Structure 1
Amino acid sequence: MTSTQLDNLATAALQDALIDVAELASQARQAHWNVRGATFLPVHRWLDELTGTLRAHADALAERIATLGGWPDACSETLSERSTLESLPFGRLTTGQALAAMDAGPGRVAAVAAAWLRSPAMGDDPVTADLLTGLCRDVQAQQWLARAHQ
């Protein structure tokens, strides 16, 4: 495989991850604004931290795409057309609904990143593999925190 082909594979992997991470960050912020319930305050605060973590990953993914010569795309149209995440319900969310969504979303992000990591081409791009591994690690930790709140 040529260097250009490897860069294209890495860019595709990063773009897939960017779409779901950007969508999940948006959902976490939406849940942060609309969560209600007996455990409101710790869940509200955690959702704020989760949003920050996801936005930092989105930025790192987008910058790697640009470094490889691609054009990162997290436009709203792209997110709505290509995200693999389930939509967050509109309006008031119980803490249980918000936590369930933030359990499922990180699980999906980790699955997409892990599928790319299993791709033979990732062995030839340790920087992209490192970004995707870090993303998996962090979203799985956040998934654990969502479960621990329930």
Structure 2
Amino acid sequence: MAVVSSPLSEAVQRAAGQALQGALVDLIDLSLTAKQAHWNVTGRTFKTVHEHLDEVVATVREASDSVAERAMMIGVHPDGRVRTVADGTVLAELPPGAVPEDKAVSSITEALAVVIARFRDRIAATEDEPVTQDLLIGITAELEKHHWMFAVQR
């Protein structure tokens, strides 16, 4: 199996790799949480919330692919397996069944806030690797936009 030789020092590669792996776990879990809410949301504003949840899922899935590809570029193998995500998640789990629109909005707003805070920590941790840091900054900006749009609905 071919392994990419990293152009980064071992310490920078390790820090960036850890940041990217943590970001990948958060993004995969966020996409699953948003999709679960998307499928089960109910209420008067169903259509608006349902469609916005799909926008979050699309943003997050694209971001997770970018994060995993960046990890490979620096010689770190990303791990997006179910067990890895389940063991590494910090997001609150949605209950099964119908999710009233206010609960969906509140849950996704909180999940986004948690992921954004963790991304900001990763941005700080990658100050010696500006390409990875730039990727994380861009993703954080997109997540903050979705957070704002859900937060104003509370």
Shorter chain as normaliser: what TM range? over 0.9
What is aligned with 1:47? 53
Find out whether 1:14 has 2:14 as its counterpart. no
**How far, CA to CA, are the matches of 2:45 and 2:86 in structure 1?**
30
The one-letter amino acid paired with 2:70 is R
CA deviations on 1:12-58 (whole Å, 9 max, x unpaired) are 00110110111000111111110000100000110111100000100
Q: Does 1:85 align with 2:91?
A: yes
What per-residue deviation string (whole Å, max 9, x for no partner) do you get for residues 53-80 of structure 1?
Answer: 0001000000011111111111111111
- What amino acid does structure 1 have at the position aligned with 2:142? D
Within 5 A, what are the aligned runs for 1:28-43? 28-43=34-49
**Hey, what does 2:3 align to over in structure 1?**
none
Partner of 1:148: 152
Q: Which runs of 5+ in 1 are unaligned?
A: none
- Segments of 4+ moved more than 3 angstroms: none
Equivalent residue runs for 1:100-139 within 5 Å: 100-119=106-125, 122-139=126-143
Give the whole-Å Cα distance in 2 for the aligned partners of 1:88 and 1:59. Answer: 24
Identity %: 34
2:66 aligned residue: 60
State the superposition RMSD in angstroms.
1.1
More helix by share: 1
TM normalised by structure 2 equals: 0.91
Q: What 5-or-longer segments of structure 2 have no aligned partner?
A: 1-7
